[in-house]
């Protein structure tokens, strides 16, 4: 059985990926930029750090990517402060992990203040031993840095940790870290590459809890 659980946030714990998609149009409007095409949204999901900056530069070479990031984060702070919806099974899974003395930590590429705000506003902050954000590591997903650091903060080897992810880059990072990696798809369904990388794929977090209860993870 796994000894610790590492949770991604957007699209895994909270139904926020769809909210993020709605923020880029007002961001571009505020900055006087053309509206983002559909391929901008699809290709940008799961990106962070330098990978996200390169993505922004590709579609909007006329502006500093950092300026776009600051504006979209400002909009996100406003929207997410109103509350975000939890994904099905989140609290049930967290209760099970707590009842079985399995420590949990969040490892998300989002800014720390946004992670902590979402945890507090949804009332699940007390379940987690800590938070690792994108700014805490040099390399973002698909590199394993964020999960390796999260495991160390739990005092565990990553191989003894369960990584829960919805994104392709997250699954790649979990596999690279050597963790037990479970994909819970959100807006992108697994392809052949993902199936070769993850330990298993679950419909929702309730299924993750059930597999843990059955000793299959």
DSSP-derived secondary structure for 39-68: HHHHHHTT--HHHHHHHHHHH-TTS-HHHH
Q: What is the pLDDT of residue 1?
A: 85
Q: What is the pLDDT of residue 96?
A: 98
Helix (H) / strand (E) element for 164: namely strand 161-165
Mean pLDDT of 188-216: 97
Look up 10 and say whether it is catalytic.
Answer: yes
At 24, the pLDDT band (50, 70, 90 cuts) reads very high
132 three-state secondary structure = strand
The chain-wide mean pLDDT, for the chain, equals: 95
The pLDDT tens digits for 100-119 are: 999 999 999 998 999 999 99
Mean pLDDT of 125-150: 96
The pLDDT tens digits for 35-89 are: 999 899 888 887 888 889 999 999 999 999 999 999 999 999 899 899 999 999 9
> What is the rounded distance in angstroms from the CA atom of residue 119 to the CA atom of residue 131?
10
pLDDT value at 26 more than 90: yes
Of the chain, the percentage scoring pLDDT greater than 70 comes to 100
Helices (H) and strands (E) in the chain, counts: 10, 6
**pTM listed for this prediction:** 0.90
Mean pLDDT of 7-34: 94
């Amino acid at each position: 059985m796994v000894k610790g659980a590492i949770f991604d946030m957007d699209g895994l714990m909270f139904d926020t990926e769809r909210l993020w998609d709605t923020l880029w149009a007002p961001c571009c409007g505020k900055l006087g930029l053309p509206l983002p095409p559909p391929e901008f949204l699809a290709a940008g999901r799961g990106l962070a750090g330098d990978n996200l900056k390169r993505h922004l530069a590709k579609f909007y070479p006329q502006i500093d990517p950092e300026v776009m990031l600051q504006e979209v984060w400002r909009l996100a702070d406003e929207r997410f402060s109103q509350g975000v919806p939890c994904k099905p099974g989140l609290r049930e899974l967290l209760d099970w992990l707590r009842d079985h003395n399995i420590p949990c930590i969040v490892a998300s590429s989002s800014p720390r203040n946004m992670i902590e705000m979402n945890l507090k506003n949804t009332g699940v902050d007390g379940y987690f031993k800590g938070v690792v954000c994108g700014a805490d590591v040099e390399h973002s997903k698909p590199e394993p840095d964020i999960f390796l650091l999260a495991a160390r903060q739990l005092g565990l080897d990553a191989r003894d940790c369960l990584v829960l992810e919805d994104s392709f880059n997250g699954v790649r990072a979990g596999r690279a870290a050597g963790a037990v990696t479970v994909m819970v798809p959100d807006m992108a369904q697994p392809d052949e590459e993902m199936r070769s990388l993850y330990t298993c794929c679950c419909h929702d977090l309730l299924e993750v809890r059930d597999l843990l209860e059955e000793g299959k993870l």
